[in-house]
Structures are given as C-alpha cells and as structure tokens.
Structure 1
Amino acid sequence: MAYVIAEPCIDVKDKACVDECPVDCIYEGPRTLYINPNECVDCGACEPVCPVEAIFYEDDLPQDWTWYQQVAEDMFEREGNPGGAQDHPLAQDDPKIEAMPPMNEELRKNLGRS
C-alpha cells in the first residue's frame, strides 16, 4: 500500500509534503508531484501537511481520482526506483498528466503562487 497524489497538486506543487517525507519518496515532475509506491513506507507524514488536500491513502482515493494510483505506478515502472527524490527530479510527467489542460489556478492564487 502507498499514498497517492491526486489532481489538486497539478500545476500547484506546494512541496510541504516533500519536507515531511522521512524516506524521500516524493518526486517532482514538471506539473505535479508523485509518490513512488515502491519507496513509500505508508507513514502518512505527507498527508496532513498538504495545503491543497491532494494526498490520499490509496484505499481512500475518491472514485474519480483512482486512476492517479495507476499513473504513479506507471511512472515508476518507467523511471525505476531512483532511491531518493532530492537527487532525481523527473524530466517529464506521465503522459496522462501532460495531456491535461492547465489546472488549479484558484488554488495557486490562494497559496500566493501565480
């Protein structure tokens, strides 16, 4: 089991979760963050600090967002397990994320990001 980052993170990427993750398993792509399900230890430290409520335990993902779990699995099937997000930013997002229109403008404004 692992935690999953869903739609509210797209084009926001607050990164408070990155600072809280004790195993450095939250990777940054160009438009969103991804939790490597193979490195996540299910501690839950990331979930309460996310200001946009984008992080869910995989069993608790809203029905409309369950596909984000597959996106994360696919991403790290392609990328492998780099062994630490700090030194391994992702060069591209998953194709499903890349294909999405710009999102979460209101969330960015509320967090002081334009």
Structure 2
Amino acid sequence: MTYVVTEQCIKCKYTDCVEVCPVDCFHEGPNFLVIDPEECIDCAVCEPECPVNAIFSDDDLPQDQEIFLEINARLSEQWPVITEIKPPPEDADNWRDVEGKRQHLEE
C-alpha cells in the first residue's frame, strides 16, 4: 500500500503534509505535490495534515482519482524531494474547493 496525492492538491500545494513525513517521500512540482510510492512507508501521518483532503491510501482512492497512482509514481521520479514546509501559492485558497483541476496540472 502507498499514499497518493490527488487532484485536489493542484494549484493549492499546501505543504503541511511534507513536514510530518518521516521518510521524505514527497516531491514538489510547479503547482502540485506527489508521493514516491517506492519511498512511502504507509504510516498515514500525512493524510490528516492535508487541509484540502487530497491524500488517500491507494486502498481508499476514489475511482475517479485512480490516474493519480501513475501520476505520483511518474512525477516523483522527475521532481525534487521537498522536506520543509513552504508558503502555499498566493491564490491557493481560491482553488481549494474547485473540482476538476486535472487540466491545470503543470508537469
């Protein structure tokens, strides 16, 4: 099992989850975070820290978010590790309740 960052993180990119991760499995892209499935130890401490509820275990992943298993795996190989909390984008609160953000993902 692994944890997966889903669509709700796009353009929000709150990093509360990063700060609690004991194995540094988060990677940062321009407007999204991903979890490296090879590094994740399934501890679940990140899930409740996400203020937009964008993190799920792969067992509980909503069906319409299953594409993010592949996205997290692929982008975690390309993007740098993030280990410290950072301020979110200035317009993050404007995006927090927006649905259907997949087309805004910057790879």
Instruction: Give TM-score, length-normalised by structure 2.
Output: 0.74
In 1, Cα distance between equivalents of 2:45 and 2:75:
22
User: Within the alignment, does 1:105 sit opposite 2:107 as a pair?
Assistant: no
Between Structure 1 and Structure 2, whose CA radius of gyration is higher?
Answer: 1
User: Is the contact made by 2:17 and 2:47 (CA closer than 8 Å) also made in structure 1?
Assistant: yes
Q: How far does residue 72 in structure 1 lie from its aligned partner after superposition?
A: 1.2
- Percent identity of equivalent pairs: 44
Provide structure 1 residue ranges, at least 5 long, that are not aligned to the other structure. Answer: 88-102, 109-114
Q: How far does residue 86 in structure 1 lie from its aligned partner after superposition?
A: 3.3
Provide structure 2 residue ranges, at least 5 long, that are not aligned to the other structure. Answer: 85-91, 98-107
Structure showing the higher helix proportion among its residues: 1
Higher relative contact order (CA 8 A, sep 6+): 2
How many residue pairs match? The answer is: 90
- In structure 1, the partner of 2:102 is none
* Aligned structure 1 segments of 4 or more residues deviating by more than 6 angstroms: none
Letter in 2 for 1:72: N
In 2, Cα distance between equivalents of 1:20 and 1:30:
21
Indicate the SS of the match to 2:27.
strand
Indicate the SS of the match to 1:31.
coil
Q: How far does residue 105 in structure 1 lie from its aligned partner after superposition?
A: 2.8
- In structure 2, the partner of 1:69 is 69
CA RMSD of aligned residues (A): 2.4
